[in-house]
Amino acid sequence: MAGLEGAFLCLGNPLLDVSAVVDQAFLDKYEIKLANQILAEEKHLPMYGELAAMSNVEYIPGGAGQNTTRICQWMLQVPHATSYMGCIGDDEFGRKMTEVATSEGVNVRYQVDAATPTGTCATCIVSSERSLVANLAAANNFKLDHLLLPDNLALLHKARVVYCTGFFITVSPASIEHVAKHCAENDKIYAMNLSAPFIVQVPPFKKVLMDALPYIDFLFGNEIEAAALAASEGWEGLSLEQVALKMSRMPKANGSRPRVVVFTQGCDPTIVAVGGRVSKYPVMLLAKEQLVDTNGAGDAFVGGFMSQLVCGKDIAECCRAGNYAANTVIQRSGCTFPAKPTFTWN
């Protein structure tokens, strides 16, 4: 595992997950749906205090990209194999997040906005399904200038794989453009995630995604996001396999490698489209009573996948590691993991 320091870099929205088991009445009160991710509006803000007062509340460092980075770091077990950038506040939540991610070996390079609190994500759990409501706060204030600081730019130049979540589209399109072009010009791998249906349903966000698409070597999403993408392109009636193929064939800036499109679909096989072909990779099945919480499963899949990708492994190994990581996380509360992975490297 030599030479892996700085191999993976992620830009995203660092959020502290405020996680609690709630009931349907709570979801109805705040007009939120299970298996969905939205940005908080005014009507949602009292929710955070209500969750914090619950006896079963947990605080876990989160944000999709940070989850993926922490999982990738955990899989690799090489200090500072991964780096992460995003914006936090100068407060207790921000300090807690820094402390946890650093203790796990991630090289965190947060921009600190002293005027704005650290972002939070309400994770409302009903019988192992969840609804996420993100109050970005400081996470919304990341600037390209932070990435361009010499020490941070050095991390970009060192990275083999650079990853941005779709959620980051709402924050810093300029940063996405910068890292995407850097990867294409230097024959590195650039990856993105659809992240949530609203990213493709809101025209300004969809435009950022489609502008970045020529630079995207690996595109991730789940079946709900893939269906929303298909609808936004007017591809109703196409199967997920056909949608993945169509996305893989869209024009590319770096012709030296084909685009790989990866759609997870819960307990059904992972769909991978590349080079005009679709493959399916089965997930590790789990007894229903072992399923604790699906929060972070998709993030964990990408983290496991990336741990193999930075080592030059093939797609089958990347998917195997992704499914192992997701399987581990869904047996625990939130995006958490044991001290060491039991994954067998091939």
> Domain ranges in the chain?
8-14+63-118+137-330
Rounded Cα distance, 314 and 312, in Å: 7
Alpha carbon of 303 to those of 112, 170, 173, 193, 340: distances in Å? 25, 22, 22, 12, 15
**pTM reported for the whole predicted model:** 0.93
Structure tokens given for 214: 């020529």
Structure tokens given for 156: 């970009």
- Which listed residue (17, 113, 217, 299) is catalytic? 299
Q: Using an 8 Å Cβ cutoff, are 313 and 1 in contact?
A: no
Question: Does residue 299 have an active-site annotation?
Answer: yes
Per-residue pLDDT of the chain (346 residues; tens, 9 = 90+): 668 999 999 999 999 989 899 999 999 999 999 988 899 999 999 999 999 899 999 888 899 999 999 999 999 999 999 999 999 999 988 998 999 899 999 999 999 999 999 999 999 999 878 899 999 999 999 999 999 999 999 999 999 999 999 999 999 999 999 999 999 999 999 999 999 999 999 999 999 999 999 999 999 999 999 999 999 999 989 999 999 999 999 999 988 899 999 999 999 999 999 999 999 999 998 988 898 878 789 999 999 999 999 999 999 999 999 999 999 999 997 788 999 999 999 9
Distance of CA 198 to the CA centre of its chain: 15
CATH superfamily entry for domain 8-14+63-118+137-330: Ribokinase (3.40.1190.20)
Strands (E), the chain: 8-11, 15-21, 36-39, 58-62, 82-85, 87-89, 107-108, 111-113, 119-126, 129-135, 161-164, 189-193, 218-222, 260-265, 268-274, 277-281
